[in-house]
Structure 1
Amino acid sequence: MRGSATTLWRLARRPRLPFQQPAQVSNNNTALSIARRLCATAPFRRNEFSSSRHPPPFRFSTGQRRSMFIQTQATPNPSSLMFYPDKPVMQVGSADFPNPRSAMNSPLAKSLFAIDGVTRVFFGSDFVTVTKSEDAAWEFLKPEVFAAIMDFYSSGQPLFLDSQAAAAMDTAIHQDDSETVAMIKELLETRIRPAVQDDGGDIVYRGFDPDTGIVKLKMQGACSGCPSSSVTLKSGIENMLMHYVPEVKGVEQELDAQDDEATLSGQMSS
């Protein structure tokens, strides 16, 4: 017979909805749809999701702890899933954890990496994106992720152990920035970043070379290692920056070793 905590969890979850895998869509079509949204003139609106991508919330409860509604949303990356705890996550900016070592300063990220099959964690303003390994199944990972998120918010722990840790303000405009760099940062912050965050990731400004006209960016969260990320960069982000900032001649994605391997494996399997 299982423990009382497990029994209460099962009672709280009934009736249990069958897990449905996110629909498999063409990577190119998905990336192009993001590109069209980036080039749209209408302002972006957060948290407007279709019912097919934003299923009803799960009510998760254990023991005497307060219940918690957690919503999930699919991303263009089939290995990544967004979890909405109905509470603020990051007050400012975002935080990316590409491996367990980088998560040592965050109790929530550390507990998520303790789940077998979790390979990457990302914090957004009101969501947590979890990326899994190819051999792991969401059917088994989702309950463990729900438990880890609920335990964290019930514990009262800070999101970061180091109070000095803060989100990287990569798009903050400084006094020594040129007019070109200031325009690039403004576009990234106001037009591009919101669209990328809607898909469970983020984009970080890494520099601009005035001699070549190349803007260096880094994809994070669900967008990192996604097979369609390169199409998104070229068809959406690059076109927008080149249109509004004539000095920009192209966009390059900056990859670390882990991202490079994930992107290569995704291109080989597509």
Structure 2
Amino acid sequence: MFIQTQSTPNPSSLMFYPGKPVMEVGSADFPNARSAMNSPLAKALYGIDGISRVFFGSDFVTVTKSDDASWDFLKPEIFAAIMDFYSSGQPLFLDSETAAAKDTAIHEDDSEIVAMIKELLETRIRPAVQDDGGDIEYRGFDPETGIVKLRMQGACSGCPSSSVTLKSGIENMLMHYVSEVKGVEQELDAEDEDAALAGQIE
């Protein structure tokens, strides 16, 4: 098995390509070791010292390291964990319910505006964000304020340029195609909020 790596705009995140599909549908984000308990692969990666976030995309795994860890030491361990997982024949998820991101699936009760937003996210925006080793999750649209809520995942979650990407690229595209959209806001995980607050206090 030959695993390739690719850098991302976030120097603390690397993309690992196992050469076979990872997620059949959607993506999965593991912001901490607790969230990884449902996935043998994510759990194995969190077993490596210095790993701070794991993310599964369609054909890649993005691993984010803590600032004091070195890729020189981590890479061989990550390669080994990915190879062990694929040779073990274990499922990616122990509980299939939680597997795929269903956030951009269009439901019958979605308004035309929401359906358009989801379609744009899925076809135009998500592929670009996934090229950078991350993903976005649709978290809602408020028709009164015109605000679309999104959550950044994977390499994009802690990346300094993610708020710029979110604001300029995604917001501009949604506002251009869907006139009802007036802006985009990032919804943070509890963990990300703690980090953001800690950053403000210092």
TM-score normalised over the length of structure 2: 0.95
Q: 2:138 aligns with which of 205, 208, 229?
A: 205
Among residues 109, 120, 126, which one is paired with 1:187 in the alignment?
Answer: 120
Alpha-carbon distance between aligned partners in 1 of 2:161 and 2:51, rounded to the nearest angstrom? 21
Equivalent position of 2:46 in the other structure: 113
CA distance in 2, matches of 1:153, 1:219: 27
Q: CA deviation at 1:263?
A: 5.2
Segment of structure 1 superposing worse, 95-104 or 160-169:
160-169
Alignment-mate amino acid for residue 143 of structure 1: P
- 1:238 maps to a residue whose letter is E
Partner of 1:132: 65
Aligned residue for 1:134, secondary structure, equals coil
Matched, 1:73 2:14: no
SS across alignment from 2:3: strand
Whose Rg is larger? 1
Distance 1:267 1:231, change over 3 A: farther
| Cα 1:183–1:206 shift into 2, 3 Å | same
User: What's the CA shift string for 1:40-62, capped at 9, x where partnerless?
Assistant: xxxxxxxxxxxxxxxxxxxxxxx
Structure 2 residue matching 1:116: 3-state secondary structure: coil
In structure 2, relative to structure 1, the CA distance for the partners of 1:214 and 1:89 (3 Å cut) is: same
Matched, 1:146 2:75: no
Aligned residues with identical type, % of pairs: 86
Q: Is the 8 A contact 1:200 1:223 kept in 2?
A: yes
Structure 1 unaligned spans of 5+: 1-67
Distance 1:80 1:150 in 2: 19
Match of 2:21 among 53, 71, 88: 88
Q: CA contact under 8 A between 1:227 and 1:263: conserved in structure 2?
A: no
Structure 1: which 4+ aligned runs deviate by more than 2 Å?
Answer: 163-166, 260-268
Hey, what's the Cα distance between the residues in 2 that align with 1:121 and 1:164?
Answer: 19
Match of 2:99 in 1: 166
Q: Tell me how many residue pairs correspond in the alignment.
A: 202
Aligned-partner Cα distance in 2 for 1:265–1:78: 21
Runs (5+) with no aligned partner, structure 2: none
Between the aligned partners of 1:227 and 1:116, the Cα distance in structure 2 is 24
